Amino acid sequence: MNLSRKTSGKIQTVTGWIEPDLLGPTLMHEHVLCDITPPELASQGGLEVEITLENVWEIRYHWTRHLGNSRLNREDIAVQELKRLREAGGQSLVDLSCVETKRNPLGLRRVAEEARVNIVMGCGHYTEEFLSPEIAKKSADMLAQEMISDIFKGVDGTDIRSGIIGEIGCSYPWTETEKRGMHAAVTAQQETGAAISVHPGRNPEAPHEIVQFITDAGGDPTRTIMSHIDRTIFGCDEVLRLADTGCVVEYDFFGIESSYYPFQEIDLPNDAMRLNMIRTLVDEGHLSRILISHDICTRTRLVDYGGHGYGHIFANIIPMMKRKGFTDQEIDTILVQNPCRLLTFV
Ligand SMILES: [Zn+2]
């Protein structure tokens, strides 16, 4: 299949093509409709926990422990949340839910139309613990053809097409099955001209290993977004070494102000610490390789359930950036120009 390059120069949203200059301020790593319930919790079954004032802090702190918290399945709530994003100054976001995390093309289109926010949808597969046995058995070529079809034809029998590849799940150590999925993502990138967004394994070496793999496979590191740097790399030298590879470095836990991380014994940074790391990257010449987002994938991070919502970066982080000496041009590059370049098909 080489229908490619008819896509070149445009951005593909769930409601159709848009010209890049209509994208505006953009969150590059979010989930609007998804289910990222940890498989172990899902296997226990039971009833969803109702979030109340009494339990909301506990559920927010231990965000993976409570059934229902990792399910964003109410379109009416999604519409309200995205309207709040628009009121705060955002225009577009990328929903990186993939097959395993219950990507919902028809729901995303309805929500995007009603809230009047551009939504770009992802494709590909998540980490191995989430994969069905059938998908884990597929060849790299089969996986690549599915992603190419999601981008050029449409997802799940609809005409709603993906506009980015990812988030592609990697564990640490990186499994052979996941490597096959990444190889497929590189093939899909070569065929379609889309960017790849990576969910790296939870180890400081994981992003380096992944960028090297993508480069060796013929992918474009400058169109590779390394997500979740907040929980993966902690030293300035380490993150500069990653940016030196040419890949895009994404701090996408904005709004998580807790130092506790449920998956691993690490100290999560807060928003101010994230911005200090980003300042270092900018000062060292990496402005064009930085993205920021919230990676909202739980109810407790939505305004409806007492959380900060998708508008947090616009309402609270941009003013903090200004206080820390970021210029308007730097903020525009991080929130508008970089997303625009990465979402525009080449
Ligand atoms: Zn992720």
Q: List, for residues 227-283, the tens digit of each pLDDT value.
A: 999 999 999 999 999 999 999 999 999 999 999 999 999 999 999 999 999 999 999
In the block, residue with structure tokens 């200090």: 276
Residue 30 Cα to ligand 1 midpoint, Å, equals 9
Residue 93 Cα to ligand 1 midpoint, Å, equals 15
Percentage of residues in the chain having pLDDT higher than 70: 98
Residue 199 Cα to ligand 1 midpoint, Å, equals 5
What tokens were used for 93?
Answer: 């976001």
What tokens were used for 135?
Answer: 């998908």
Mean pLDDT, the chain, whole residue set? 96
334-to-66, 164, 273 alpha-carbon distances in Å: 34, 18, 17
For the chain, report the end-to-end CA distance as a whole number of angstroms.
17
**Ion ligand 1 contact residues with beta carbon within 5 A:** 167, 199
Output the CA torsion 165→171→174→179 (10° steps): -20
Residue 1 predicted with pLDDT over 50:
no
Give me the pLDDT at residue 6, please. 64
Residue 170 Cα to ligand 1 midpoint, Å, equals 9
The answer to whether 176 and 184 have CB atoms below 8 angstroms apart is no
Output the CA torsion 17→19→24→28 (10° steps): 50
The DSSP call for residue 123 is B
Residue 252 Cα to ligand 1 midpoint, Å, equals 9
Residue 264 Cα to ligand 1 midpoint, Å, equals 15
φ, ψ of residue 292 in degrees (nearest 5): -130, 145
Residue 167 Cα to ligand 1 midpoint, Å, equals 6
For 184-214, how does the pLDDT look when each residue is reduced to its tens digit (9 = 90+)? 999 999 999 999 999 999 999 999 999 999 9
Residue 228 Cα to ligand 1 midpoint, Å, equals 7
- Those residues with Cβ within 8 angstroms of residue 271's Cβ, 6 or more apart along the chain or in another chain: 254, 255, 257, 316, 317, 320
For 286-317, how does the pLDDT look when each residue is reduced to its tens digit (9 = 90+)? 999 999 999 999 999 999 999 999 999 999 99
Residue 29 Cα to ligand 1 midpoint, Å, equals 8
Q: What is the largest CA-CA distance in the chain?
A: 55
The answer to whether 336 and 89 have CB atoms below 8 angstroms apart is no
Report the distance separating Cα 140 and Cα 107, nearest Å.
29
Element (H, E) at 81: helix 75-88
